[in-house]
Structure formats: C-alpha cells, structure tokens
Amino acid sequence: MSFARRTPKILIALLLAIFVTCLIWIVLRVQTNSSQTLSLATVEPDTGFVIDIPQKALMKNYVRVSMEATPGKSCELTYIPPSGEIHQMNTVANESGQCEWRWKVEESEGKGDGRLIFTLDGKSETHFFQILSSF
C-alpha cells in the first residue's frame, strides 16, 4: 500500500483522536464548573436562632424584630434595605432573654426585599422580608 493511499486513513485517525481529546476536555471542564457552581451555592446550616420577623413591612412605618438569647448577651442585627445601605444595630438581651430592635422604614430606602442578618456568639443567620409602599 502506497503512502498516498494510507494518508486519508492516517488523517481520519488523527482527526478522530483530536475530536475525542477535545470531547473529553469539554466534559471534564463542564464537570469542574458544575462542582464549583454547586459549592458556591451551598447555604450555611441553620443556626437554630429563634427569631420574630414580619413577612412584610410598609414604607414610612415601624418594623420590630426580635431574637432569643441568654439574658445579658450582646446581639447584633444588620439591616440592608433594597437600596443597599447597611444599618448595624447592637443590643443586649433583656431579662426575658429577648434582643429587640425597632426602626422606621424610610421611603428613600425603596421597596423590595430587605435583608436581616442576626449575629449571636459569632454565628449569623440571614432572613428576608418584603418592603411595600402599600398593602
């Protein structure tokens, strides 16, 4: 068999090997990206905080939230309204074991989802509530 007759077979085998290599690389790349995406979407386990928050709040009205803690324990609340401003509030649990916060939802902070981040003993738990202009 002459070289000219073997060239197409060699070329086909070479192209097939390149194709298989590229296919393997793509599959491995997709698996790597998928595992990275899954690890980024992992949610921290529930801390077991006992909290009281509203599901909805009205602009220009007061919101009250609370969290149970050992009396005298320091508690922190980070409130992030839809506008993205960060409000940090600290308090101490009262003799009933309640950390309580109350503030007015300002119109300038916008409507949408508000975020509440409760922190106690270095552990945090995030919750959301909806801020509306009217019910």
Q: Model confidence over 8-24: pLDDT tens digits?
A: 676 676 666 676 665 56
Contact 64, 102 (CB under 8 A): yes
Where are the chain's structural domains? 1-42, 51-132
Considering the entire predicted model, what is its pTM?
A: 0.65
pLDDT band at 99 (very low <50, low <70, confident <90, very high): very high
User: Which tokens hold the place of 88?
Assistant: 């940090």
Can you name the residues that pair with 91 across neighbouring β-strands? Answer: 75
pLDDT at 44 (0 to 100): 44
pLDDT at 57 over 70: yes
- Over residues 103-117, the mean pLDDT reads 95
**CATH number given to 51-132:** 2.60.40.10
Instruction: Fill in the amino acid letter for 60.
Output: K
- Over residues 35-51, the mean pLDDT reads 51
Nearest to 49 by CA among 135, 131, 133, 123: 123
Contact 108, 87 (CB under 8 A): no
